């Protein structure tokens, strides 16, 4: 089916991060390079393709004025707000995680209210906690997370819904699982092992896993994650019963599953364990798998990649990248 995209002028915060670096390029392909403004709190080496392939601004999300100036300068009507600290780094500095994740989102929502912008903000499987049903976690359920990252994600979901109901700001979001990609490394999450394992499998044919055998978590390959963002942003608002944020799911696995799948492709690959208690405790508090029926029904969510398909693609693309 031919998709007809509605004209957008988009500001991406955190555009040089794991999601942002790939999403910015995809959005530029869809909406035109000049209609997608990448922003980050600083320029990073190796990210020239994003900085140079369209407009780029330095924006510190904890400073609302900087967001407002960028929105006005480019006549932005949609903010994709990705700047945030992840779960593991958040536990090392919870105050900083609160400041960036909560104040950053509050500033984005305030600018969106004043300048009439739509807002997409990712939530996470981290928005759940130990009292949440663990298997096929429902869309609407108990959310009592025990990490600062999770606290900011639940609060962010509620705040985003509040801005929709109170002020009519078109806020939307998904609860991302662990995201696996070869372009930019994740910035300190609990699920990062499922990215590192591919790098180590190619580089050293062995990996030491910091997550315990048998620990299931939901995961997703980046192309599906990008597709989710664009589809939800383009979804017919009349069909949305939920907004912040939708469960989405693609695959659920434990370390032995991904190890086995990589071994199918690289027979000499070996793995051992050195469990990190901080990240293990976080993983244990999260669901094993999510029920994404609401996303499927309300905006047609459907993932393309399972573990075997992702592994073949990831190993091919990453081997290519590491050769350069
Ligand atoms: N990948 C994230 C993390 O591990 C979950 O949203 O922190």
With 0.85 as the threshold, say if the pTM is over it.
yes
Per-residue tokens: 310: 């992702």
User: Residue 215 belongs to what H/E stretch?
Assistant: none
pLDDT in tens, 177-217: 999 999 999 989 999 999 999 999 999 999 999 999 999 99
Per the annotation, the verdict on 149 as an active-site residue is: yes
* pLDDT for position 25: 97
> Which residue out of 94, 126, 153, 185 has the highest number of ligand 1 atoms within 8 Å of its CB and is therefore the one to mutate?
126
* pLDDT for position 5: 64
Separation of CA 236 and ligand 1 centre (Å): 28
Per-residue tokens: 268: 């000499």
CB atoms closer than 10 angstroms to residue 36: 29
The whole-number average pLDDT for the span 147-164 is 98
Strand, coil or helix: 162 = helix
pLDDT tier, 3 (very low <50, low <70, confident <90, very high otherwise): low
Q: How far apart are CA 208 and CA 28, in angstroms?
A: 38
* pLDDT for position 324: 78
Q: Which atom of ligand 1 is nearest to the CA of 86?
A: 7
- Say whether pLDDT at 221 is over 50: yes
HSE-CB at 269 with a 13 A cutoff on CA atoms is 22
Separation of CA 2 and ligand 1 centre (Å): 33
- Point out which residues pair with 171 in neighbouring strands: 119
What's the mean pLDDT when you consider all of the chain?
96
Separation of CA 221 and ligand 1 centre (Å): 13
Q: What percent of the chain has pLDDT above 90?
A: 94
pLDDT tier, 1 (very low <50, low <70, confident <90, very high otherwise): very low
- Say whether pLDDT at 2 is over 80: no
Q: What are phi and psi of 247, to 5 degrees?
A: -65, 130
Active-site entry in 5, 74, 106, 149? 149
User: Residue 12 belongs to what H/E stretch?
Assistant: strand 10-13
Q: Which atom of ligand 1 is nearest to the CA of 88?
A: 7
Nearest CA to ligand 1 atom 6: 124
Q: What percent of the chain has pLDDT above 70?
A: 98
Q: How far apart are CA 188 and CA 182, in angstroms?
A: 15
């Amino acid at each position: 089916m031919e998709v007809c995209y509605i004209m957008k002028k988009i500001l991406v915060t955190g555009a040089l991060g794991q999601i942002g670096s790939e999403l910015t390029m995809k959005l530029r392909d869809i909406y035109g390079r000049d209609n997608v403004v990448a922003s980050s709190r600083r320029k990073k080496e190796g990210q020239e393709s994003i900085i140079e392939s369209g407009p780029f601004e330095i924006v510190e999300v904890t400073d609302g004025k900087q967001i407002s100036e960028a929105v006005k300068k480019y006549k932005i009507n949609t903010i994709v707000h990705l700047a945030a600290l992840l779960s593991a780094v958040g536990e090392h500095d919870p105050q900083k995680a609160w400041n960036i994740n909560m104040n950053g989102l509050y500033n984005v929502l305030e600018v969106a209210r004043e300048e009439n912008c739509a807002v997409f903000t990712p939530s996470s499987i981290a928005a759940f906690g130990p009292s949440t049903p663990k298997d096929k976690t429902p869309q609407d359920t108990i959310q009592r997370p025990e990490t600062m990252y999770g606290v900011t994600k639940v609060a962010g979901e509620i705040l985003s819904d509040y801005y929709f109901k109170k002020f009519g700001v078109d806020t939307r979001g998904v609860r991302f699982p662990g995201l696996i990609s070869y372009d930019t490394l994740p910035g300190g999450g609990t699920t990062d092992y499922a990215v590192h394992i591919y790098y180590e499998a190619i580089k050293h044919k062995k990996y030491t896993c910091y997550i315990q055998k048998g620990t299931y978590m939901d995961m997703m390959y980046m192309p599906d994650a990008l597709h989710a963002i664009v589809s939800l942003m383009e979804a017919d608002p009349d069909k949305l019963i939920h907004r912040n944020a939708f469960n989405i799911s693609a695959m659920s696995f434990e370390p032995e599953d991904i190890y086995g799948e990589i071994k199918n492709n690289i027979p000499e690959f070996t793995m051992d364990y050195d469990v990190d208690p901080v990240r293990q405790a976080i993983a244990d508090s999260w669901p094993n798998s999510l029920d994404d029926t609401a996303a499927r029904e309300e905006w047609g969510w459907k993932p393309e990649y399972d573990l075997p398909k992702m592994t073949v693609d990831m190993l091919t693309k990453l081997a290519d990248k590491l050769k350069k």
